Every structure is written in structure tokens, then in C-alpha cells.
Structure 1
Amino acid sequence: MIYFSAWFESLGGNPGCTGGCLTCSLYNGCLTCLPKLFFHLERDGMKQIGVCLASCPKSFFGTRSPEKNYCSKCDSECDTCFDKNFCTRCRAGSYLHKGKCQESCPDDLVPSDTKRECVPSCPADCDVCLSSETCTRCSSGHYLLHGQCHANCPEGTEPRQQVLECIPTVHCEVGEWSEWTQCPRKGKACSRQQLRTRKVLQEPSAQGNPCPNTLEERECPAKRKRCGKSDKNKGERKNRNSRKDKANGESRRERKKERERERDDSDREDSENGNKTEQRRRRAQSGDPAHVQGGAAA
């Protein structure tokens, strides 16, 4: 504290002063301020109190000089000002034009109660408008959004060329995955895979995030068959079996014909023997001498 007081006094200050005062009095407050601060008089009832501020309050502007920095009052019609001759915002009922506050605007401009300025009858880059603040159609190369024209659409929107408007950017949305399909039963399919899908709920706009994959596949837990080799072997086996069946069929037909020929020969031989026996029996019954002689000789 001793060191601070010595430093403060070296600047000509009074250790009893507060709030940035360099010098002060009990009755009038600050008399002078520390460097870079503005001296300002605030009304306190019937008297004025000096204060030191980093910037001047509303309706005042700051003036710097080697001797003193102080706050000066703006023109009576100014709400804020850069200096005494240049307003930056007017009080209600006046409109700013070229740093001056006026009750009416020039012929080529219209008053804006929101901005308290004289403004063009249509907003900038607007072809057709409802008022000085609301556009309904923008000029070429600009896009309409909330009554204002933009050379580039704000974040979260994108240009729609057909109507020269900024529209909200829409990102793709997809639903939940379906259940995995069942694996084919053993021997029913070569490609043993499971599939699952999901639906697109919202298509994206031109600049929106594209849709992710809507189809996934994975191998079934069972060992995958070797489709190419298996199918080839299966075809070869089928051809071999077909040739074998054909050969066996021909062999069976030949054997059947052979048996039929043997039966026919046997039947003819039996028929011939039967006929000879019947002829001998008849000759014997008729008393044929040749038959008797032959029988005796026998």
C-alpha cells in the first residue's frame, strides 16, 4: 500500500481518490482523471459530480487533448454521435442522413423507423419490395431470405436457382436396420450370406449430406461352399451316371432278348419231342407193322 501511494502521488494523485481519479474533492468528486480516462460530469440532484470513465455514455462523445480528456454532449437530435457535427443514430422522430438528423428524407429515400435512417425505397439488391426493409424478389445473382437479399446464402441454407431464394439445407435421414435374413439351409445355395436393409426416410437436398449405405451383407457362420468346383463335379457326375444308366439299360435289354430266345428254342424243342411221342403212340395203337417190327427189333 505504501508503494502504491508513492506511485499515485508521483502522478499527482490523491490516495484518498477512487474510481480512476487523479485528483478529487470530497464535495465535487473527481477533478482530473488518470491518463486515457475521460472526465464526465454526472448530475446528482442539484449538483454535478465528476467521474472518470473508459468511454463516454450515450448522447456524449469523447474528446482527447494533451491537457484533458473529457466527454461532450451530442447535438440535441442525436442519440449517439461521433462528434458534435456527425450523428451516428438519431432520436425517435428524426432520420439519419449523411451524419445529420432530419425530420424528412430526400426524394429518392424513405424513412426507416427501425433504423432511424433515410434508406432506399427497396433494400439493397432488391428488384421488387413491400417496403424499405422487406424485399419480395431479388436482382440476378442474389437470393431472397426473410425479406433480404444475399449474394451467398447463410449457413444452414442453400440457393434455389429457379426462384432465387435461400432454402433450408436438408440432410438425408435413414431408418433402423432390419433383422438379418436367415442363412440358407445346407446344400440349398452356394453363396451362404445374410442380408439386412434400411429405408431412406428423407431424401437430401442438393447440398445436404448424402444417404449412407442402405444394404449390408455378411457371411453365414457355416463354411461357405466352393460353388464353381462343386457345380462342375456335380455336372460330370451327372453325365457319368447318365452314360452308365444308358449302358446298363442296353445290357439289360440284350440279356432279356437272350432269355426270350432261349425260352423260344426250349419251347420248340419240347413241342417237337411231344409231337414225336404222340406219333409213336398213335402208330402203336393202330397196329402199324413197321411200328411193331421196329418195336420188336428194338
Structure 2
Amino acid sequence: MGLFLGNLAFGAWRTAEVDAAVAAMPRIKVSQIQQGITMEERMQSSPGEAMMSWVKASEQLRGQKVDLVIWPEGATPYDPRIAKVGQRMTYLAKYIDAPIVFGGGYVEEKVSPITGEPYYEQRNSIYLMSRQGELVTRYDKMVPLPFGEYLPGAETFPILREWIRGPGNFKAGEVPVVFSLPDRPEITFTTPICYEAILSRLVRTQLSEGQLMVNVTNDGWFGDTSAPHQHAMLSAVRAVELGVPIVRIAYTGVSMRISPTGKIEDETTPFTDVLRVIETPVGRVPTVYSKIGDTYAWLNLAGVIAGFVLFRRRSLANVTPPTASS
């Protein structure tokens, strides 16, 4: 009983401490945009039409003094360095007078060292565009989704692509990227893409200097199931682990904001149209996990193994050897 009450007391004290730290953090205004469209409906329209639907929705943010407009993963299926795509995004950033974080592709032409033939390398990326319409920073997804964004083993055994044609051919990003707001460089954030947000070790590495986690995803593939909600809850754990506010923007939901205490606010319903401006704190609350990572878990595992070995040795030592019968 004492241990139970002690846990409750510590939880209440820690929650109050974190709430006080969050209350003292600066705030920024960010957009929360999602679409009430199924993946079947989305696939019936062209990628250009899908992108323009996000442009038209975001135009309504003009005059609302948003610090950061956030689009989800897949909102821009093209590389924004393509002239027409870049022009549209530049127009939007200038029109609404706000920087934009958006999911897009990255395509790089390369030459095979073996055949000498040119080929294109693709990445699933997040871009930051300034309010002046300039591309400032890019992050490439470091952990592509197996059998969705790439086919495991296909580089070693190319024939697998002939047998399994569904997966993409996205390459993994190599380094974590910390973004800074162009007009307020003291505000820093990271952008884990989709299910990267459930990988605690990866997010801890990415968030080494970030004060906000912006998780963009496209959960429309799950359909009207429990999966979008489960994915969102798994992502929310990172806020408590790392003591950082999270803004989660999903193509069709669940979008939400999570406090470092784990409190969920501004949660949306999947497959509904949402367009609003919300405020989020920006800052960090020190946590054990942010400082030592998985060390505590490994120490626990080592302790369990050591305890088992000691128990085994004592058990064997207490065994009385059989005596020879006369």
C-alpha cells in the first residue's frame, strides 16, 4: 500500500512540476489542417489536384498571424524544386505571410557505378519554406516503412521487384535535422515522419536540441479502424519520455497536441475537415530518458540476468549429491 501511495504522490508532484514549467514556456501559433477524405477518394484525383486542395485550404489562414503552417506527410507528392510546384508553394507562403512545413518528395539523379546508366534516387522528405518563399531546410525520413516505402532485400536481389511490385523505392535519410523558425531562430523543432515518432531511440537522437516535435503523417491508409488512434497514442508517449510538446498533423486524422505531461488537447476526429489555428508551448522539461536513454532499461535487463545466474548457482550449491548404495 505504501508503494502504491508513494507512486501516486510522486506522480502528482511531478505533474505539477511539469505543468509549471510548461506554463512558463513561450508560445507559437500553428495551423491544424486535415482533410475529410478517404484514400479511395484521394487516389481518384491527380497528385496535382490533391496538392491544390491543401493550397486552397491554407489560403484561408491569411491575416491570422500564424507562426508556422504545417502540412502532413504526402500533401505535396512532388519535389518542390520542380518549377511549377515551387511556384505554387512560394505563392502560398507569400500570400499567407507565414513559413510552411510540408511533406514532399526528394528526387536526385545519379549514375550507376556498374552500368553507367542514370537512375533516380527518391526520398520521403519534409521541407521548411520561409514566408518569403525560400526553401530553408530539408529532412529525409531516416527509417522508411518496410514493404511500403521500400522492399527489404531488393538491392541485393533485384529480382524481388519483379515478384513484389507494390512497395516503393525510397532511400533512407542519413542524418537527423533540427529546424529553426526563419523569423525566430531561437525556436527549434524536429519533424519525425509517420511511424518514426513511435521509435523512442530515434526520436531522442533527433530531438537533441529541439524544443518542439512536429510529427506529420498520413494515416488514411488505415481506413475507419482503430489503427489511426493506436498510432497516435504510441506517438504521444514521446512527449512524456522526452519532456517536449508535440504537434501531430495527420492527413485525415488523428491530429492533436500533446503536453509534456501526456495531456492531449485539440484532438480531431478522423476523416473530418479541420482548419484552425492553435497555440503550442515551445521548450523542454528535463527527463531521465532524455538524459540517459535506454541505459536504465539495459541495467534492468542486466540485473535480471545477474539475478537468474545467482539464483541458479545457489540452487545448484544446495543440491545434495547422491550417495553410492552399498
Structure 1 or 2: larger helix share?
Answer: 2
On whether the aligned pair clears a TM of 0.5, the verdict is no
TM-score by length of 2: 0.17
Task: Give the TM-score of the pair, scaled to structure 1.
Answer: 0.18
Say which structure is richer in strand: 1
- Which entry has the higher C-alpha Rg, 1 or 2? 1
Greater RCO, 1 or 2 (C-alpha within 8 Å, sep 6+):
2
